[in-house]
Amino acid sequence: MNLSPTIISTLILVHLVTVILLFILKRSSILENFRSSKNHPASQGDTAIQAGGIVIIPVSLCILVILLNSLTSVTFAIQIASLIPIITLFFVGFIDDLKPISAFFRLVLHFLSATLITFLIYQLTGFSGLEEMTSLVGFFFPAVFMILAISWMINTTNFIDGMDLFLAISILPGIILFAFLHWLFDSEIILSLGYLILLSAMLGFVWFNRPKASIYMGDAGTLVLGFILGSTGVYIFARYGSIAGFIPFAYTLVDTTFTLIIRIINGLNPLKSHNQHAYQIAVKNGKSDTSIRTFCLIANITNTICAYLCFHYNHDLYWQLLLGIISFSISTYLFFYLRNFTFEINSKAT
């Protein structure tokens, strides 16, 4: 795929439209109900708007659908099947930003969305990259893993929207990698275009999410972003047999997983909103926002490099395991460093 003038102009347009709409939202009083966060993130001000996703997701989807219809032969059925879970998660997140809804209800929708897209991925790939695995255990267990992976990625992305610029530094390296990887294959023009458009919109969001942030993504955006990232990770796994699609987000996956385990160990409700992620506890323990973002950015870039190498050596199990271990080891060390190497719950992080 070449970056034609049409595509470059489209990416610039997406960026400008995103910035303009977010600026209007910032100055408007329409979204006053989005100014309070149920999680009350560590560095978020009381005046921050939880509505970035209300702009970024619709703008990205509209432009992508227009391009798909003009540049590719994607069937209408595939477009609808892909859009149903995205639109569902968007509206669930939108409602949840206004008035918190049942965590169980949200989880059910996450699993249903993940199940639908896993079925679609199977239809597109036939799990061609997992022939050896499916010959041993069949299709059921890989499919269950994919559903769980997507569902967990949805929640993971939702949990990191809690510090100025933290969401951006957590997912932008992975988005850039996905756009680059799919750009290498002419048959992957759809995914490459999608991530380039999403990248343009996210860069527009960064202007308002940088310290001191005036706009956060909110559930309407994070649920959809997590779904898209998780689905792409699963697609890469199903088609190429590579775990490269998960490695760029190793730190956020480690943080979310260990935080859940720690809460269970301490007898706390794992479904209840809280401020006990490592980066939030680090802020409360006196570490500066800048140092936390810097450490996490370095880890995320390192993980993304490991992910690229993992994709490059996707037929070599040894390299896959080695790069995965390196990435998740770095992320685990950073997690415990931010928590001062303790499993205890910080009393200030309720």
Domain boundaries along the sequence of the chain: 5-245
pLDDT, tens digit, 9 for 90 and up, residues 21-54: 999 888 876 666 565 444 444 444 456 778 789 9
pTM of the complete model beyond 0.85: yes
Query: Average pLDDT of 184-193?
Result: 68
345 vs 350: CA distance, rounded Å: 9
- pLDDT score of 66: 72
- Among 22-36, 128-142, 218-232, the range scoring the smallest mean pLDDT is 22-36
Phi (first) and psi of residue 50, to 5 degrees: -90, 60
Q: Are the C-beta atoms of residues 310 and 324 closer than 8 Å to each other? A: yes
Among the ranges 43-52, 100-109, 252-261, 339-348, which has the highest mean pLDDT value? 252-261
CB 161 within 8 A of CB 218: yes
DSSP element (H, E) containing 215: strand 215-216
Of 19, 28, 55, residue with least CA distance to 217: 55
Which amino acid is located at 197 in the chain?
I
pLDDT reported for residue 33: 58
Q: Which two tokens stand for residue 158?
A: 């939702």
87 CB contacts (<8 Å, ≥6 apart)? none
Q: Are 243 and 237 in contact (CB under 8 A)?
A: yes
Contacts of 304 (CB under 8 A, 6+ apart): 173, 174, 176, 177, 247, 248
Of the candidate ranges 15-19, 52-56, 270-274, the one whose mean pLDDT is the lowest: 270-274
In the prediction, which pLDDT does 30 show? 62
pLDDT-derived band at 119, boundaries 50, 70, 90: very high
Q: What is the arithmetic mean of pLDDT over 62-83?
A: 70
In the Cβ-directed half-sphere of 141, how many Cα atoms lie within 13 Å? 8
pLDDT tops 90 at residue 3: no
pLDDT class of 104 with cuts at 50, 70, 90: confident
Cβ neighbors of 341 (< 8 A, separation 6 or more) are: none
Are 314 and 320 in contact, with CB atoms under 8 Å apart?
yes
Mean pLDDT of the chain: 85
Q: Is 199 a residue whose pLDDT tops 60?
A: yes
- Radius of gyration over alpha carbons of the chain, in Å? 19
Q: Which residue has the higher pLDDT, 24 or 146?
A: 146
- Alpha carbons 173 and 267: distance in angstroms, whole number: 35
State the pLDDT confidence band at 344, using cuts at 50, 70 and 90.
low
- The pLDDT confidence band at residue 80, using thresholds 50, 70 and 90, is confident
Whole-number Å distance between alpha carbons of 62 and 250: 30
Q: Which pair of structure tokens corresponds to residue 18?
A: 């995103």
